[in-house]
Structure 1
Amino acid sequence: MRIVVAHNRYREAQPSGENTIVDAEIAQLTAAGVEVLPFIRSSDEIPTMSKPAKALLPISPIWAPKAQHDLDRLITEHRPDVLHLHNPYPLLSPWVVRTAHRHGVPVVQTVHNYRQVCSSGLYFRDGVICQDCRGRALGVPAIVHRCYRGSRVQSALMATTLAVHRPTWKSVDRFIALTTAVADHLRDYGIPDERIVVKPNAIPDPGAPAPLGDGFLFLGRLSPEKGLDLLLEAWRRHPDGTLGPLRIAGDGELRPLVEAAAAERDDVTFLGPLDRAGVRAALEASAVVLATSTWHDVLPTVIIEALASGRPVLGTALGGIPYLVGADSPREPAGTGPAAVASAVPGDGVVPLPSGMVAGEAGWVVPPEPAALADALPVARAGAAYLTPAARARYERTFHPDVVTKQLIDIYAAVARTPNPA
């Protein structure tokens, strides 16, 4: 099988989980015997472009002529079975879908964000969830609020791009939704069920989990949408030291907020940005990983890393987080089934979960509110040991590369033999 993987890489100065996932997926497919033809552009190329090329940049999200010419040549020469698109902006453009279809090549797209509708891709503005552009033919609110790169002109261009390419997106042969929440987003956009497949990302297997550590770990970008304000406000509702340590790792604009919290309390430690070895050590030292996003976070990779290391997750009930911890479907009432196991306290038997807290297969979710998160923290700490085996089992069954790569190859095979209904 021969697959074109098309992706516009984000700038290297801006850490991108999407870049990492695309690289890993190419490696996993290659190891599985798939011939991968990378069709990659990078936003880091923009400063070195010629003046004529830069002059065309404003229209490149709508139509990138050089990318179409290069893709034409690639498809003509190699005759791929499928084109797999990730991020098309700004140097590829969704027009690559039309170029592939003109050659009779079916297209699969992995949906990493909400940019079919939202110019920023986040459904998040000014510190709160925003879906003002849902259902609109043209995303005027995005223009008014400068949602794309803080520029009204660039926001107008992106909103126009999304309007122009609505038929393009609706012609894609198969959408890969990373979680059930993304699948719901696509249905709301008008994509029929038969063209949506839920397939998460995978991360390499780190091996057998280390013995459970103590306390909590927040690992991620230190930015408002990741819920650091929410986490620290909930944490302060408990006396210093009663929950064990809170370790916070990462970097970003809210770093001063975290440094202040670490100076204020003995049970808060700021680890700073970590390399892979540092991430592994921080996971091993902890008992529960926190995912306190206040936006509809699509697929926080840190959750998959936690499950692979046998660490349950306490997160907010937003975006893909419930799916990742196995809490996106109705469960038994508190006191029975998995909920009872998850809320068991050593020596005390089964205790009911706090109001709003939902137990999943490999963790818990709560509303994105300080009181709800504060009530959930001691329950999660007490129940961590009970969910450790389930966390690792969920990784092996759902997020292991062997499982996910097979799913992806099956998707390719299905679209390669099925005519496009659009």
Structure 2
Amino acid sequence: MRIVVAHNRYREAQPSGENTIVDSEIAQLTDAGVEVLPFIRSSDEIPSMSKAAKALLPISPIWAPRAQEDLSRLLTTHRPDVLHLHNPYPLISPWVVRTAHRHGVPVVQTVHNYRQVCSSGIYFRDGMICQDCKGRALGVPAVVHRCYRNSRAQSALMATTLAVHRGTWRSVDRFIALTSAIADHLRDYGIPDERIVVKPNSVPDPGRPAPLGDGFLYMARLTPEKGLDLLLEAWRRHPVGTLGTLRVAGDGELRPLVEAAAAERADVVYLGQLDRAGVRAAVEASAVVIAASMWHDVLPTVIIEALASGRPVLGTALGGIPYLVGADGPREPAGTGSAEIASAIPGEGVAPLPAGVVTGTAGWVVPPEPAAMAAAFPVARAGAAALSQPARLRYEQTFHPDVVTKRLLDIYASVTRP
């Protein structure tokens, strides 16, 4: 089988789980004997472009003529079985779907965000979830609020792109929804059930988990939607040292907040931006990984990495987080919960979980509120050992490359069968 993987890489200065997933998926497909033809562009190319190329950038999200020419040559030369599209913006454009179909090549797209509808792709604005453009033919609110790159002109361009390519997206042969929540998003957009398949991402198997460390790890872009404010406010509700160490890794506009917290409290450590070895060391040093997202985060890669290392996760009950930690199915009423975990909390004995804290197969979810997260910290710290093995098992059964790659090959086969 011969597959073109098309992806516009995000800037390397902006940590991207999506870039990581695409790289891993290419490696996993190659290991499975698939011939992969990468069709990759990077936003890091933009500063070094010629003046003529930069002049065309404003229309690239809509058309990207150079990318269409290059893709046409690739398709003509190699005659692939499928084009698998990830992120098309800004240098590839959704027009590659039309180009592939013109060559008789079916298209599969992994949906990593909400950009069929939302110009920013995250349904988040001014510190809160926003779906003002949902159901509109043209996303005027995105222009008014400068939702794309904080620019009214660029927001107008993206809103126009989404309107122009509504038919393009609806012509995709198969959508890969990373969770059932994304499948619902696609159905709401008008995609029929038979063209939606739920398949999560995976990360490479790091091997047998190391013994649990202590404390918590938060690893994300330091931006408002990732919930750093929420995390730090919740952490400050506990005396210094009572929860172990809070390690924070990543970079972004909110970096000064975590630097101030680290200067203020001995139990907060800022690790900066980490390479792969640094990530693994930080995970192994911790007992619980935190996902404090304030938006409907689709499928945070850091959670899969945590499960692979046998670390349970404390997350907000938004987007794909409940699915990842196995807390999206039938559950006990709030105020009840795991006696085994509750009894491990010093001085508590067997007691119900705090209101709003829900225990899943591989972690806990709470409402995106400081009080709820603060109440969950001691529960998660006490219960980490009990959920370490279930966390690893969830990874092996649902997110291991062997499981996920087989599912992906089945999806390719479904669009190439006569």
Band of TM-score, shorter chain: over 0.9
CA RMSD of aligned residues (A): 1.8
Structure 1 residues 286 and 50, CA gap change in structure 2 (3 angstroms): closer
Deviation of residue 350 (structure 1)?
4.2
The answer for the alignment partner of 1:36 in structure 2 is 36
Asked if 1 retains the 8 angstrom alpha-carbon contact of 2:357 and 2:372, the reply is yes
1:1-400 superposed matches below 5 A: 1-333=1-333, 339-345=338-344, 350-400=350-400
Deviation of residue 263 (structure 1)?
2.0
Distance 1:346 1:255 in 2: 32
- 3-state SS in 2 of match to 1:37: strand
Amino acid at match of 2:344: V
Asked if 2 retains the 8 angstrom alpha-carbon contact of 1:342 and 1:363, the reply is no
Structure 1 residues 356 and 335, CA gap change in structure 2 (3 angstroms): closer
Deviation of residue 276 (structure 1)?
2.1
Q: Please give the per-residue CA displacement for 1:274-333, whole angstroms capped at 9, x wherever unaligned.
A: 222222222112111111111111111111111111010000001111111111122244
Asked if 1 retains the 8 angstrom alpha-carbon contact of 2:15 and 2:250, the reply is no
Q: Please give the per-residue CA displacement for 1:363-386, whole angstroms capped at 9, x wherever unaligned.
A: 010000111111111111111111
Q: Please give the per-residue CA displacement for 1:215-239, whole angstroms capped at 9, x wherever unaligned.
A: 1111122221111111111111122
Asked if 1 retains the 8 angstrom alpha-carbon contact of 2:234 and 2:370, the reply is yes
The percentage of counterpart residues that share the same residue type is 84
Amino acid at match of 1:402: D
The 10-residue stretch of structure 1 (12-21 or 118-127) with the greater mean CA deviation from structure 2: 12-21
Asked if 1 retains the 8 angstrom alpha-carbon contact of 2:335 and 2:356, the reply is no
Asked if 2 retains the 8 angstrom alpha-carbon contact of 1:217 and 1:289, the reply is yes
Deviation of residue 13 (structure 1)?
2.7
Deviation of residue 193 (structure 1)?
1.7
TM-score, normalised to structure 1, is 0.94
The 10-residue stretch of structure 1 (371-380 or 273-282) with the greater mean CA deviation from structure 2: 273-282
The 10-residue stretch of structure 1 (47-56 or 126-135) with the greater mean CA deviation from structure 2: 47-56
Amino acid at match of 2:223: S
Amino acid at match of 2:193: D
Asked if 2 retains the 8 angstrom alpha-carbon contact of 1:343 and 1:380, the reply is no
Deviation of residue 340 (structure 1)?
4.5
Asked if 2 retains the 8 angstrom alpha-carbon contact of 1:345 and 1:351, the reply is no
Asked if 1 retains the 8 angstrom alpha-carbon contact of 2:14 and 2:221, the reply is no
Amino acid at match of 2:352: P
Moved over 3 A (4+): 332-336, 338-344, 346-350
Asked if 2 retains the 8 angstrom alpha-carbon contact of 1:342 and 1:359, the reply is no
Structure 1 residues 275 and 50, CA gap change in structure 2 (3 angstroms): closer
Q: Please give the per-residue CA displacement for 1:166-207, whole angstroms capped at 9, x wherever unaligned.
A: 011011111111122212211221112221111111111111
Amino acid at match of 1:38: P
The 10-residue stretch of structure 1 (392-401 or 13-22) with the greater mean CA deviation from structure 2: 13-22
- 3-state SS in 2 of match to 1:184: helix
Amino acid at match of 1:154: Q
Q: Which consecutive unaligned segments of at least 5 residues does structure 1 have?
A: none
Deviation of residue 64 (structure 1)?
1.7
Q: Please give the per-residue CA displacement for 1:110-163, whole angstroms capped at 9, x wherever unaligned.
A: 111110001111111111111110110000000111111111111111100100
Asked if 2 retains the 8 angstrom alpha-carbon contact of 1:335 and 1:351, the reply is no
Structure 1 residues 206 and 181, CA gap change in structure 2 (3 angstroms): same
